[in-house]
Amino acid sequence: MDNAFGQPQSVIVLGGTSDIARALTKRLCAARTRSVVLAGRDAARLAAAADEARGYGASMTATVHFDAEDLAGARRCVDEAFTQAGEPVDLVVVAVGQLGDQLLDEDDPARAASSAVVNFAWPSAALAEVRARLVAQGHGRIIVLSSIASVRVRRNAYLYGAAKAGLDRVCQGLASSLSGTGVSLQIVRPAFVRSKMTAGRPETPFSTGVNELAETIVRGLATGAPVIWSPPVLRYVALVLRVLPAPLWRLVAARG
Amino acid sequence: MTRERLTGWGRTAPSVAEVVTPDDEEGVVAAIAGSSAVIARGLGRSYGDAAQVGGGVALSNLGLGGVGPIDEGGRLSVGAGVSFDELLASSIPQGWFVPVTPGTRQVTLGGAIAADVHGKNHHVDGSIGAHVLDLRLVTPTGTSDVSPTKDPDLFWATVGGMGLTGVVTRLTLEMLPIETDRVLVDTERFDNLDAVMAAMAEGDQDYRYSVAWVDCMTRGAHMGRAILTRGNHAGAGDVTSATLTGPTPARLAVPFDAPSGLLNSWSVRAFNELWFRSAPRHEVGEAQGLATFFHPLDGVRDWNRLYGRRGFVQYQFCVPDDAGETVVRAITRLSDSRVPSFLAVLKRFGAATPGPLSFPAPGWTLALDLPVGPAALPGVLDELDELVIAARGRVYFAKDARLNPSKVRAMYPHLADFLEVKERVDPEHRMTSDLARRLGLTGE
């Protein structure tokens, strides 16, 4: 069960092998988390992440395999994760996504569609099932990794940014739909995060490491803020980005 | 049946459950049979998650009323959903007081049994369980009357058992005769913790009621300055115009949630200063009303809203007599961390009941109200748990909202005895709560 300080005991992470997810699992286990179910694509990396979670103090770990391009599999993945958890689930983290390669993807219908499926459609499908399960439980929390890229799409990553924007909006609606159910959803909007996913990409301003992001998320779990910005100052930067005239935005966005 | 979002008095960690309010024993039996996760709920005064069960059925006991006549020996049969407020309203005019009262009258008798509540007289009279003659208990496997002589294992597992053995529908209580509705109170102010603890160890036996308010926010020489109030019921000859009048409803209320952060280290420090200075340095034999003395917080309805949206936790622990040093270290740790804490309550405990999950044990108990918010607070409380365990003490489940489950067995060494009884009457583990799930009290 969740406690008064927003420290969950039982956690499911969809996209559990990402660097962000692993850093977050470490922080959660340092507090109260003892049951960790990790869902991801790569069996070997899932097993390694589960080992790692046990090292952080989790007494129950399990893994679930899924492919984020397989929309029909979203429900099965979530159901299996809840079954593996075996007890009321306090927190579901949705950290599913793929940055893609804009220049390769933008003229390739299959790859463009894939970005929309992995970053938007699959997480939305999974969230529908997560919502139903947690509402039936009468309690639980959801953390969804969105991105600063969702605030205003830029030329260099518009497929990713637009898909994240879609997911972000779904989450805004979902969060308000949860009022009075005992369940809540918090959106995380980080700036550039140094991780496997972004390796080799040019850093943009306000970038953070995964540990700093994980710390910010844990702090957000304690405060219950509907949107968790990382770094926190990004909240104000986003205000400016939203209203920047298009020509100026293109100049800013072209850097990085 | 309605679906409701429930929290404890601290207003943290909400969950949603179906709330049913049966008005007789058959209704209770049906509600338990109809769900795989049930817990009784009274007036919602436990601070944490003891009386809520996400996705299950919260069985409100407020339909289980009825206050019977009090016989010449003070014995009274009363419905578990009756509150102390309701009971005292009828008993005080007849010259009877409850044998034990918690700090608020807004607690049901059933809830009081579940938490084995204590009052200012614990050092003399023990907890409520010591004054209960029998209980009518509905468990998932049957209904029975239990008492200290009839199925004592089940009786004592129920006293302090946080509602996890079943639902109490009625009980017989032994009341305390009083001649007036006044208490003769001696008040003393102490400049530091050592002085007040010495005075309590020395003189508490001369008083039926004793409690000290401690300021946890002063450091240095005045660390833990305190106001000690002690008293006895006034006899008819002790006061000029002796009356027997029951409690009156609160005149003040907090109408909306205060902004989070209203109670910060500055405002709490200022309050504590005012509180301390407004107490007399030494006053003897002041006649106070029962409500003023026993239930000062009942004067303001919904005072928990002062803590704002994020709520608060109460941390209460007890340690044996020889571990008074732990109280000093706990208060030092809190005042050093500058976590804001309203005046803490310090008291001495007397004999324990045999309840395996009953909280009070001989020694000292300290209770602190702490707003949720300071980033250091969760870690500080985890450290205090370690101090408490090292001193063979424990924290109080009725107040808890954050204990690490790995520490439960060290604090409650008789947990296995409790779980054995629970397994007997509830083999399918139907009786459960968010507290029980969080701390592993359900059995597996």
What pLDDT digit, counting tens, does each position of A99-122 carry? 888 889 999 999 999 999 999 999
Q: What is the chain B residue with the closest CA to A8? A: B438
Highest mean pLDDT pick, A143-157, B293-307, B351-365? B351-365
Tokens of B401: 């909202």
* Region of B121 on the Ramachandran plot (φ > 0 left; ψ -120 to 50 alpha; else beta): alpha
Output b/e per residue, B82-115; b: 16+ Cβ within 10 A.
bbbbbbbbbbbeebbbbbbbbbbbbbbbbbbbbb
Nearest to A147 by CA among A183, A112, A182, A171: A171
Binned at pLDDT 50, 70 and 90, residue B222 comes out as confident
Q: Is A9 helix (H, G, I), strand (E, B) or coil?
A: coil
Taking the Cβ of residue B438 and every Cβ of chain A, the question of whether any pair is shorter than 8 Å is answered with yes
pLDDT of residue B264: 80
Taking the Cβ of residue A181 and every Cβ of chain B, the question of whether any pair is shorter than 8 Å is answered with yes
Q: Does A3 contact B55 at a Cβ distance shorter than 8 Å?
A: no
Q: Is the pLDDT of residue B251 over 80?
A: no
Q: How far is B397 from chain A (nearest CA, A)?
A: 13
Q: Does B402 contact A2 at a Cβ distance shorter than 8 Å?
A: no
Binned at pLDDT 50, 70 and 90, residue A256 comes out as low
Q: Does A9 contact B405 at a Cβ distance shorter than 8 Å?
A: yes
Q: Identify the bridge partners of residue B319 per DSSP, sorted by sequence position.
A: B364
In angstroms, the CA B182 to CA B179 distance is: 9
Q: How far is A185 from chain B (nearest CA, A)?
A: 14
Tokens of B115: 């938490």
Of B55, B401, B405, the CB nearest to A136: B55
What pLDDT digit, counting tens, does each position of B56-75 carry? 999 999 999 999 999 999 99
DSSP string, B37-84: SEEEESSS-SSSSTT--TTSEEEEGGG---EEEE-TT-EEEEETT-BH
Q: How far is B330 from chain A (nearest CA, A)?
A: 20
Domain map of chain A by residue range?
A: 10-255
pLDDT of residue B241: 80
Pairing of strands A227-230, A208-209: unpaired
Q: Is the pLDDT of residue B343 over 80?
A: no
Q: How far apart are the first and last CA of chain B?
A: 29
Of B5, B16, B313, the CB nearest to A4: B313
In angstroms, the CA B387 to CA A34 distance is: 23
Q: Does A4 contact B375 at a Cβ distance shorter than 8 Å?
A: no
Taking the Cβ of residue B268 and every Cβ of chain A, the question of whether any pair is shorter than 8 Å is answered with no
In angstroms, the CA A93 to CA B94 distance is: 60
Q: How far is B116 from chain A (nearest CA, A)?
A: 23
The DSSP code for B162 is: T
Query: What's the rounded mean pLDDT across residues A57-76?
Result: 97
Taking the Cβ of residue B14 and every Cβ of chain A, the question of whether any pair is shorter than 8 Å is answered with yes
pLDDT of residue B263: 80
Q: Is the pLDDT of residue A255 over 80?
A: no
Q: Is B315 helix (H, G, I), strand (E, B) or coil?
A: strand
ipTM: 0.91
The answer to whether B349 touches B120, Cβ cutoff 8 Å, is: no
Tokens of B303: 């005072």
Of A5, A136, A138, the CB nearest to B372: A5
* Substitution target from B2, B437, B441 for chain A, most A beta carbons within 10 A: B437
What pLDDT digit, counting tens, does each position of A199-229 carry? 888 888 888 999 999 999 999 999 999 999 9
Of A32, A182, A219, the CB nearest to B5: A182
The answer to whether B342 touches B268, Cβ cutoff 8 Å, is: yes
- CB contacts of A34 in chain B (<8 Å) are 405
Phi, psi of B108 (to 5 degrees): -85, 160
CATH superfamily of A10-255: NAD(P)-binding Rossmann-like Domain (3.40.50.720)
The answer to whether B28 touches B138, Cβ cutoff 8 Å, is: yes
What pLDDT digit, counting tens, does each position of A22-37 carry? 999 999 999 999 999 9
Query: What's the rounded mean pLDDT across residues B119-144?
Result: 98
In angstroms, the CA A102 to CA A97 distance is: 14
- CB contacts of A31 in chain B (<8 Å) are 378
The answer to whether A197 touches A101, Cβ cutoff 8 Å, is: no
Q: How far is B58 from chain A (nearest CA, A)?
A: 12
The answer to whether B131 touches B326, Cβ cutoff 8 Å, is: no
What pLDDT digit, counting tens, does each position of B166-221 carry? 999 999 999 999 999 999 999 999 999 999 999 999 999 999 999 999 998 888 88
Taking the Cβ of residue B371 and every Cβ of chain A, the question of whether any pair is shorter than 8 Å is answered with no
Q: Is A94 helix (H, G, I), strand (E, B) or coil?
A: strand
> Which amino acids of A are annotated catalytic?
160
The answer to whether A31 touches A25, Cβ cutoff 8 Å, is: no
pLDDT of residue B444: 67
Mean pLDDT estimate for chain A: 94
pLDDT of residue B271: 82
* Substitution target from A5, A7, A32 for chain B, most B beta carbons within 10 A: A5
The answer to whether B305 touches B10, Cβ cutoff 8 Å, is: no
What pLDDT digit, counting tens, does each position of B83-109 carry? 999 999 999 999 999 999 999 999 999
